[in-house]
Homo-oligomer: A and B are copies of this chain.
Amino acid sequence: MGTASARPVANKYPSAHVLKIHGRLFLIDCGEGVQLQLSRYGFSHVKIDRVFISHLHGDHLFGCFGLLSTMALMGRTAPLYIYAPGRFSEILAFFMKHFGEGVVFDIIHVPLTSTAPEIVFEGRSVEVSAFSLNHRIETFGFLFKEKEPARNIRKWKIESDNLTLSEIGTLKRGEDVVRADGEVLKVEDFTYIPYKGRSMAFCSDTAPFPELASYIRGVDLLYHEATFAEDLVDMARKTFHSTGAQAATVALEAGVGRMVIGHFSSRYRDPDVILKEAQAIFPATELAREGMKFDIPLVRYPAEAK
Protein backbone atom coordinates (compact mmCIF):
# COMPACT_ATOMS: atom_id res chain seq x y z
CA MET A 1 0.00 0.00 0.00
CA GLY A 2 3.06 2.24 0.20
CA THR A 3 6.24 2.23 -1.88
CA ALA A 4 7.78 5.54 -0.81
CA SER A 5 10.67 5.99 1.56
CA ALA A 6 11.03 8.70 4.17
CA ARG A 7 9.89 11.55 1.94
CA PRO A 8 6.56 10.67 0.39
CA VAL A 9 5.51 12.31 -2.86
CA ALA A 10 2.11 12.75 -4.46
CA ASN A 11 0.30 9.41 -4.84
CA LYS A 12 3.10 7.49 -3.16
CA TYR A 13 2.55 6.44 0.41
CA PRO A 14 5.07 5.48 3.09
CA SER A 15 5.69 1.83 4.00
CA ALA A 16 2.56 -0.29 4.60
CA HIS A 17 1.70 -3.77 3.36
CA VAL A 18 -1.03 -6.34 3.86
CA LEU A 19 -0.31 -10.06 3.91
CA LYS A 20 -3.43 -12.17 3.54
CA ILE A 21 -3.07 -15.76 4.62
CA HIS A 22 -5.97 -18.16 5.11
CA GLY A 23 -8.40 -15.25 5.34
CA ARG A 24 -6.34 -13.58 8.05
CA LEU A 25 -4.87 -10.11 7.46
CA PHE A 26 -1.44 -9.21 8.76
CA LEU A 27 -0.45 -5.57 8.51
CA ILE A 28 3.27 -5.02 7.94
CA ASP A 29 4.42 -1.49 8.78
CA CYS A 30 2.10 1.39 9.48
CA GLY A 31 3.13 4.37 7.35
CA GLU A 32 1.09 7.58 7.41
CA GLY A 33 -2.19 7.15 5.58
CA VAL A 34 -2.38 3.39 6.10
CA GLN A 35 -6.02 3.57 7.22
CA LEU A 36 -6.89 5.48 4.04
CA GLN A 37 -5.07 2.94 1.92
CA LEU A 38 -6.81 0.04 3.67
CA SER A 39 -10.17 1.62 2.79
CA ARG A 40 -9.08 2.34 -0.76
CA TYR A 41 -8.12 -1.27 -1.40
CA GLY A 42 -11.14 -2.73 0.36
CA PHE A 43 -9.48 -4.26 3.42
CA SER A 44 -11.56 -4.30 6.55
CA HIS A 45 -9.85 -3.02 9.69
CA VAL A 46 -11.77 -5.66 11.60
CA LYS A 47 -9.87 -8.50 9.95
CA ILE A 48 -6.48 -7.21 11.07
CA ASP A 49 -5.47 -8.87 14.31
CA ARG A 50 -1.69 -8.60 14.10
CA VAL A 51 0.50 -5.69 13.12
CA PHE A 52 4.23 -6.03 12.48
CA ILE A 53 6.27 -2.85 12.69
CA SER A 54 9.84 -3.19 11.41
CA HIS A 55 11.26 -0.13 13.16
CA LEU A 56 10.34 3.15 14.73
CA HIS A 57 11.13 5.60 11.96
CA GLY A 58 8.13 7.76 11.19
CA ASP A 59 7.65 6.54 7.64
CA HIS A 60 6.96 3.03 8.99
CA LEU A 61 4.94 4.08 12.00
CA PHE A 62 3.00 7.35 11.86
CA GLY A 63 -0.14 5.71 10.47
CA CYS A 64 -0.68 3.65 13.59
CA PHE A 65 -2.27 6.52 15.53
CA GLY A 66 -5.04 7.04 12.99
CA LEU A 67 -5.52 3.32 12.52
CA LEU A 68 -5.93 2.66 16.25
CA SER A 69 -8.30 5.65 16.60
CA THR A 70 -10.47 4.48 13.75
CA MET A 71 -10.56 0.92 15.08
CA ALA A 72 -11.85 2.37 18.37
CA LEU A 73 -14.38 4.57 16.60
CA MET A 74 -15.72 1.56 14.73
CA GLY A 75 -16.32 -0.25 17.99
CA ARG A 76 -13.52 -2.80 17.85
CA THR A 77 -13.46 -5.13 20.84
CA ALA A 78 -11.08 -7.86 19.60
CA PRO A 79 -7.52 -7.61 20.92
CA LEU A 80 -4.83 -6.31 18.61
CA TYR A 81 -1.28 -7.62 18.73
CA ILE A 82 1.52 -5.30 17.67
CA TYR A 83 4.97 -6.77 17.13
CA ALA A 84 7.45 -3.92 17.31
CA PRO A 85 10.76 -2.90 18.86
CA GLY A 86 10.77 -2.40 22.63
CA ARG A 87 10.55 1.37 22.53
CA PHE A 88 7.12 1.10 20.93
CA SER A 89 5.69 0.66 24.43
CA GLU A 90 6.43 4.35 25.09
CA ILE A 91 4.71 5.33 21.85
CA LEU A 92 1.69 3.23 22.75
CA ALA A 93 1.56 4.75 26.24
CA PHE A 94 1.62 8.24 24.68
CA PHE A 95 -1.20 7.29 22.32
CA MET A 96 -3.33 5.84 25.10
CA LYS A 97 -2.80 8.87 27.33
CA HIS A 98 -3.77 11.46 24.74
CA PHE A 99 -6.03 9.63 22.31
CA GLY A 100 -7.05 6.40 24.04
CA GLU A 101 -10.38 7.57 25.46
CA GLY A 102 -12.56 5.38 23.24
CA VAL A 103 -10.18 2.43 22.98
CA VAL A 104 -11.94 -0.48 24.67
CA PHE A 105 -9.99 -3.27 22.99
CA ASP A 106 -6.69 -4.61 24.28
CA ILE A 107 -3.56 -3.58 22.46
CA ILE A 108 -0.80 -6.06 23.21
CA HIS A 109 2.69 -4.94 22.35
CA VAL A 110 5.03 -7.88 21.75
CA PRO A 111 8.57 -6.45 21.92
CA LEU A 112 11.01 -7.74 19.31
CA THR A 113 14.50 -8.66 20.49
CA SER A 114 16.02 -11.52 18.51
CA THR A 115 19.04 -11.30 16.24
CA ALA A 116 18.71 -14.57 14.33
CA PRO A 117 15.16 -15.58 13.36
CA GLU A 118 12.99 -16.47 16.33
CA ILE A 119 9.31 -17.33 16.29
CA VAL A 120 7.20 -14.45 17.62
CA PHE A 121 3.79 -15.80 16.68
CA GLU A 122 2.50 -19.26 16.04
CA GLY A 123 -1.04 -19.76 14.78
CA ARG A 124 -2.89 -22.75 13.43
CA SER A 125 -1.74 -22.25 9.87
CA VAL A 126 1.17 -19.84 10.06
CA GLU A 127 4.22 -19.01 12.10
CA VAL A 128 6.03 -15.70 12.06
CA SER A 129 9.67 -15.15 12.94
CA ALA A 130 11.49 -11.89 13.46
CA PHE A 131 15.19 -11.20 12.92
CA SER A 132 17.49 -8.20 13.09
CA LEU A 133 18.25 -6.10 10.05
CA ASN A 134 21.10 -3.65 9.62
CA HIS A 135 19.67 -0.14 9.74
CA ARG A 136 20.46 3.08 11.60
CA ILE A 137 18.18 2.10 14.48
CA GLU A 138 16.93 -1.23 15.82
CA THR A 139 15.09 -2.78 12.88
CA PHE A 140 13.53 -6.17 12.26
CA GLY A 141 12.69 -8.30 9.28
CA PHE A 142 9.86 -10.83 9.31
CA LEU A 143 9.52 -14.33 7.96
CA PHE A 144 5.99 -15.65 7.44
CA LYS A 145 5.72 -19.41 6.99
CA GLU A 146 2.60 -21.31 6.22
CA LYS A 147 2.70 -24.44 8.34
CA GLU A 148 2.99 -27.84 6.72
CA PRO A 149 -0.63 -28.99 6.35
CA ALA A 150 -1.97 -32.18 7.95
CA ARG A 151 -1.31 -35.34 5.93
CA ASN A 152 -4.05 -36.67 3.68
CA ILE A 153 -4.79 -40.36 3.46
CA ARG A 154 -4.37 -41.99 0.04
CA LYS A 155 -8.06 -42.81 -0.51
CA TRP A 156 -7.54 -45.97 -2.57
CA LYS A 157 -5.46 -47.44 0.28
CA ILE A 158 -8.45 -47.34 2.63
CA GLU A 159 -10.20 -50.08 0.71
CA SER A 160 -7.17 -52.04 -0.46
CA ASP A 161 -5.82 -52.36 3.07
CA ASN A 162 -9.11 -52.33 5.00
CA LEU A 163 -8.05 -49.37 7.14
CA THR A 164 -10.06 -48.81 10.32
CA LEU A 165 -11.02 -45.28 11.42
CA SER A 166 -8.55 -45.54 14.27
CA GLU A 167 -5.76 -46.55 11.87
CA ILE A 168 -6.60 -43.63 9.56
CA GLY A 169 -6.42 -41.21 12.50
CA THR A 170 -3.04 -42.54 13.58
CA LEU A 171 -1.58 -42.34 10.07
CA LYS A 172 -2.89 -38.78 9.54
CA ARG A 173 -1.20 -37.73 12.77
CA GLY A 174 2.03 -38.93 11.14
CA GLU A 175 2.48 -42.13 13.13
CA ASP A 176 3.05 -45.62 11.71
CA VAL A 177 0.47 -48.30 12.57
CA VAL A 178 1.54 -51.70 13.93
CA ARG A 179 -1.25 -54.25 13.46
CA ALA A 180 -1.94 -57.18 15.82
CA ASP A 181 -0.36 -59.52 13.27
CA GLY A 182 2.84 -57.47 13.28
CA GLU A 183 2.20 -55.76 9.91
CA VAL A 184 3.53 -52.18 9.86
CA LEU A 185 1.60 -49.53 7.90
CA LYS A 186 4.14 -46.80 7.13
CA VAL A 187 2.99 -43.17 7.14
CA GLU A 188 4.77 -42.41 3.85
CA ASP A 189 2.98 -45.25 2.06
CA PHE A 190 -0.51 -44.40 3.25
CA THR A 191 -0.51 -40.58 3.39
CA TYR A 192 0.78 -37.56 1.50
CA ILE A 193 1.21 -33.87 2.17
CA PRO A 194 -1.46 -32.10 0.10
CA TYR A 195 0.45 -28.89 -0.59
CA LYS A 196 3.71 -27.16 0.10
CA GLY A 197 3.72 -24.61 2.91
CA ARG A 198 4.36 -21.18 1.42
CA SER A 199 6.65 -18.49 2.78
CA MET A 200 7.28 -14.79 2.48
CA ALA A 201 9.98 -12.57 3.95
CA PHE A 202 9.90 -8.85 4.57
CA CYS A 203 13.19 -6.92 4.73
CA SER A 204 12.97 -3.16 5.14
CA ASP A 205 14.97 -1.05 5.95
CA THR A 206 18.44 -2.54 5.75
CA ALA A 207 21.92 -2.39 4.36
CA PRO A 208 23.20 -5.75 3.13
CA PHE A 209 24.83 -7.96 5.78
CA PRO A 210 26.33 -11.46 5.56
CA GLU A 211 23.72 -13.42 7.55
CA LEU A 212 20.63 -12.10 5.79
CA ALA A 213 20.53 -14.67 2.97
CA SER A 214 20.64 -17.54 5.47
CA TYR A 215 17.72 -16.04 7.43
CA ILE A 216 15.39 -16.06 4.45
CA ARG A 217 16.70 -19.01 2.45
CA GLY A 218 14.32 -20.35 -0.16
CA VAL A 219 11.27 -18.21 0.59
CA ASP A 220 8.70 -18.09 -2.18
CA LEU A 221 8.41 -14.33 -2.09
CA LEU A 222 10.88 -11.81 -0.75
CA TYR A 223 9.96 -8.18 -0.24
CA HIS A 224 13.20 -6.26 -0.02
CA GLU A 225 13.77 -2.55 0.13
CA ALA A 226 15.66 -0.98 -2.78
CA THR A 227 15.82 2.67 -1.84
CA PHE A 228 18.51 3.62 -4.34
CA ALA A 229 20.02 2.71 -7.70
CA GLU A 230 23.76 2.14 -8.06
CA ASP A 231 24.40 5.83 -8.76
CA LEU A 232 23.74 6.46 -5.08
CA VAL A 233 25.41 3.39 -3.60
CA ASP A 234 27.42 5.66 -1.28
CA MET A 235 24.25 7.27 -0.02
CA ALA A 236 22.81 3.78 0.51
CA ARG A 237 25.83 2.83 2.62
CA LYS A 238 25.68 6.05 4.61
CA THR A 239 21.98 5.73 5.39
CA PHE A 240 22.00 1.92 5.89
CA HIS A 241 19.79 1.20 2.93
CA SER A 242 20.14 -1.10 -0.10
CA THR A 243 20.37 -0.54 -3.80
CA GLY A 244 18.33 -2.66 -6.19
CA ALA A 245 21.46 -4.57 -7.15
CA GLN A 246 22.30 -5.29 -3.52
CA ALA A 247 18.77 -6.55 -2.87
CA ALA A 248 19.05 -8.77 -5.95
CA THR A 249 22.33 -10.21 -4.69
CA VAL A 250 20.62 -11.20 -1.44
CA ALA A 251 17.72 -12.76 -3.38
CA LEU A 252 20.12 -14.74 -5.55
CA GLU A 253 22.21 -15.94 -2.64
CA ALA A 254 19.13 -16.89 -0.63
CA GLY A 255 17.62 -18.75 -3.56
CA VAL A 256 14.21 -17.14 -3.20
CA GLY A 257 11.42 -17.71 -5.69
CA ARG A 258 10.65 -14.10 -6.57
CA MET A 259 11.49 -10.70 -5.20
CA VAL A 260 9.39 -7.55 -4.97
CA ILE A 261 11.26 -4.30 -4.37
CA GLY A 262 9.92 -1.10 -2.83
CA HIS A 263 10.77 1.81 -0.48
CA PHE A 264 12.03 3.97 -3.33
CA SER A 265 13.77 7.25 -2.71
CA SER A 266 11.81 10.27 -3.95
CA ARG A 267 14.93 11.15 -5.96
CA TYR A 268 13.81 8.59 -8.53
CA ARG A 269 10.84 9.87 -10.43
CA ASP A 270 10.67 6.48 -12.12
CA PRO A 271 12.15 3.58 -10.13
CA ASP A 272 12.55 1.54 -13.34
CA VAL A 273 16.29 2.15 -13.22
CA ILE A 274 16.39 0.40 -9.84
CA LEU A 275 14.35 -2.49 -11.24
CA LYS A 276 16.62 -2.94 -14.27
CA GLU A 277 19.74 -3.05 -12.14
CA ALA A 278 18.13 -5.64 -9.88
CA GLN A 279 16.87 -7.79 -12.75
CA ALA A 280 20.37 -7.90 -14.25
CA ILE A 281 21.35 -9.92 -11.16
CA PHE A 282 18.07 -11.55 -10.17
CA PRO A 283 15.63 -11.66 -13.11
CA ALA A 284 12.58 -12.65 -11.07
CA THR A 285 12.38 -9.17 -9.57
CA GLU A 286 9.20 -7.11 -9.69
CA LEU A 287 8.53 -3.49 -8.85
CA ALA A 288 6.00 -2.64 -6.17
CA ARG A 289 3.50 0.09 -6.92
CA GLU A 290 0.64 1.26 -4.71
CA GLY A 291 -2.30 -1.12 -5.02
CA MET A 292 -0.41 -4.05 -6.53
CA LYS A 293 -1.13 -7.56 -5.37
CA PHE A 294 1.37 -10.42 -5.48
CA ASP A 295 -0.01 -13.93 -5.21
CA ILE A 296 1.94 -16.92 -4.02
CA PRO A 297 0.13 -19.76 -5.79
CA LEU A 298 -0.51 -22.96 -3.89
CA VAL A 299 1.60 -25.85 -5.14
CA ARG A 300 -0.45 -29.05 -4.69
CA TYR A 301 1.38 -32.35 -4.37
CA PRO A 302 -0.20 -35.30 -6.17
CA ALA A 303 -1.46 -38.13 -3.93
CA GLU A 304 1.42 -40.27 -5.17
CA ALA A 305 4.00 -37.88 -3.83
CA LYS A 306 5.65 -38.59 -0.53
Contacts and interface: CB of A to CB of B under 8 A. Distances in A.
A98 B66 contact: no
Contacts of A90: 98
A216 interface: no
A40 B11 contact: yes
Interface in A54-94: 56-59, 62-63, 65-66, 69-70, 73-74, 87, 90-91, 94
Given A91-B98, A94-B94, A98-B87, A36 B40 contact: no
A10 interface: yes
Given A58-B66, A65-B62, A39 B98 contact: no
A48 to B, nearest CB: 16
A32 B63 contact: yes
Contacts of A14: 66
A13 B13 CA distance: 14
Contact of A33 (B9, B36, B56, B70): B36
Contacts of A94: 94
A39 B69 contact: no
Contacts of A73: 6-7
A36 B62 contact: no
A58 B91 CA distance: 15
A65 B74 contact: no
For the complex formed by this chain, how many copies does it contain in all? 2
A129 interface: no
Contacts of A66: 8, 14, 32, 58-59, 62
Given A33-B33, A33-B36, A58 B99 contact: yes
Nearest to A9: B39
Contacts of A99: 57-58
A36 B13 CA distance: 8
A63 B31 CA distance: 11
Contacts of A56: 98
A40 B33 CA distance: 14
A82 to B, nearest CB: 16
Interface centre among A11, A36, A40 (most CB of B within 10 A): A36
A16 B126 CA distance: 41
Contact of A74 (B7, B62, B98): B7
A164 to B, nearest CB: 56
20 contacts: A6-B69, A7-B70, A7-B73, A7-B74, A8-B36, A8-B66, A10-B36, A11-B40, A14-B66, A32-B32, A32-B35, A32-B62, A32-B65, A57-B99, A58-B65, A58-B66, A59-B66, A62-B62, A65-B65, A87-B98
